[in-house]
Structure 1
């Protein structure tokens, strides 16, 4: 069996998403297509390329809904955020919505992986996941 968290030789890293998160996020992204098409499209692309597995098979170091993620940005800053659904988002509390460019970039990544993403202002960024703490209660 191949390592689901290894990087692809070119392009984006391989990502893993549990079935429940995948189903919920597909509905959320499709519902958001009219309001925020760019972000919804990006999330749909991530979901389409993800390896979907049983929820119990998602490795503990993989970002899922409710995970707390420590990452390093291309500007050298370390940040810690929790990936949440839009209604739970609160930037002041470090709760980042999945319906943001960075939220969509984080889903399915494992510790040690890097990904390039485009902010809403059009600037390109790169982040590297340093650690992932799984949700205390499954999202």
Structure 2
């Protein structure tokens, strides 16, 4: 995934240490089977600031978080970011291995990111709001 923010800069993102390790392993395991998806995820992980779980700021998009976001000029949509085995688009659960899922990872409300879709079109994802989901609430206890 080629990602860009204003004037070609990428938005700053943070990822919890426990998720970083699991996501890194996932990208490594997927590298041969789906290099495009693995590369998208790896690119986001490479540029992320890794933060201890207890120090993660609220409102940062992570596994289990629910985002309201807009892609290009489309209507806003809401989805939960999940690991691939939990993905179910009919339940608005987006895998972190999809282009949208990888783009959401680590973003906060007000941030945007651009990437080139598989068809070569430039796309822009803008986060409107982030709330913790069940997985994050349970982790914080």
TM norm structure 2: 0.87
- 2:30 maps to 32
Distance across 1 between alignment mates of 2:93 and 2:52 = 25
- 1:1-139 alignment to 2 at 5 Å? 10-138=8-136
Tell me which protein shows more helix as a share of its residues: 2
Cα root mean square deviation, aligned: 1.6
Gaps of 5+ in 1: 1-6
Give the 4+ runs in structure 1 shifted more than 3 A.
Answer: 7-10
Q: Is the 8 A contact 1:16 1:53 kept in 2?
A: yes
Gaps of 5+ in 2: none
Aligned length: 133
Q: Is the 8 A contact 1:101 1:118 kept in 2?
A: no
Q: Is the 8 A contact 1:102 1:117 kept in 2?
A: no
